[in-house]
Structure 1
């Protein structure tokens, strides 16, 4: 079974979460995990002004996803940072190019899942994931989240992302905070959970 992990990241927070998601998915026997990123729309000049040139180089080796990769996968786990409670324009542009897949029903019955990051604790993590689900539902995908059987989404002794909608991390307004061990554990579980669901469906 083919599991896609497709992400957009600028400062590396979502990339780190995507690695954990892919690691979890790869733990399920029979899974073929492909880690990809969506095409960056910002120029090198703009990225440099944003202070993102160095962080983007961390994952410049990751291949760019195409809409055909979605059709080839049995499941796709999407990772995207939040912009005002919604996905980034880069991810939106990628999804907006999937009209041909929608017309053919190419993604109907495939598993879809989402993880995200925000600068603050209440920066729109749930809104971003839930609004992302709308596109997946239009494609007829089966949505998987993170069940409350995962202790990491209910921690109270530390500041942490993660909830029933999907894994998440808090980057801090200046981007200085990277995913915690708890957040990475939830992300890893999400990848494994999606792969386990997918395996049952394709067997």
Structure 2
């Protein structure tokens, strides 16, 4: 397991989802595994990637090898009309080669999202993000109600995955419950990956 890692793959336009990704990565490491943070470039109206090969700041862009070689996946996106953002969907649409070879079958996955408003489609986004992962044969993990923050949060947090109320300007910082749930999700994913990895080897 020394080389095994959890891929924390996300798209973030204003930084809120990136904040979540860093907290999930911290949870993965608290769970005893390495976290690999990766993002995806934006897309144009014609759906072609529009970005330099290496971003000016933040996480590197994900490759299919990052996905192929991971022991588990945490996938995050801001909400766009109750669904994931186009850049992340565009990346996932390019993973048919991994689907054909079954590279992701049996690997655990978890999801996270951020919204501008409290009822801005957090749960529908998390549920819709599960669909391509289920097609890949991944094993979806949510957040159990044994996590106390899930019962007390007044911002984000769902049994379907971690979520965050970023506010209309996208600048609201993660509150203590949202941080707790992000870390819990990462830790849970790491523990599941460690249990599954011997059976996959």
Q: TM-score, normalised by structure 2?
A: 0.88
- The whole-number CA distance in structure 2 between the counterparts of 1:109 and 1:180 is 33
1:114 Cα deviation after fit: 0.5
Task: State the aligned residue count.
Answer: 186
Contact 2:31 2:186 in 1 (8 A): no
Which of 177, 189, 193 is matched with 1:194 structurally? Answer: 189
- The whole-number CA distance in structure 1 between the counterparts of 2:142 and 2:132 is 15
1:27-46 mapped onto 2 (5 Å cutoff): 27-29=30-32, 31-41=33-43
1:28 Cα deviation after fit: 2.1
Which residue number corresponds to residue 175 of structure 1? 170
Which residue number corresponds to residue 104 of structure 1? 101
1:146 Cα deviation after fit: 0.6
- The whole-number CA distance in structure 1 between the counterparts of 2:183 and 2:58 is 21
Deviations along 1:40-67, one digit per CA (max 9) or x if unpaired, are 2259xxxxxxxxxxxx96xx23110012
1:22 partnered with 2:41: no
114 and 10 in structure 1: CA distance in 2 versus 1, 3 angstrom threshold = same
Which of 54, 60, 76 is matched with 1:63 structurally? Answer: 60
Which residue number corresponds to residue 76 of structure 1? 73
- The whole-number CA distance in structure 2 between the counterparts of 1:14 and 1:61 is 12
Which residue number corresponds to residue 49 of structure 1? none
1:89 partnered with 2:91: no
1:110 Cα deviation after fit: 0.7
Structure 1 runs of 4+ with >4 Å offset:
none
- The whole-number CA distance in structure 2 between the counterparts of 1:132 and 1:202 is 23
1:11 partnered with 2:14: yes
Deviations along 1:93-132, one digit per CA (max 9) or x if unpaired, are 0000001001111110011110001111111000000011
Which of 155, 159, 171 is matched with 2:154 structurally? Answer: 159
| Unaligned stretches of 5+ residues in structure 1 | 44-55
- The whole-number CA distance in structure 2 between the counterparts of 1:62 and 1:185 is 22
- The whole-number CA distance in structure 1 between the counterparts of 2:170 and 2:61 is 24
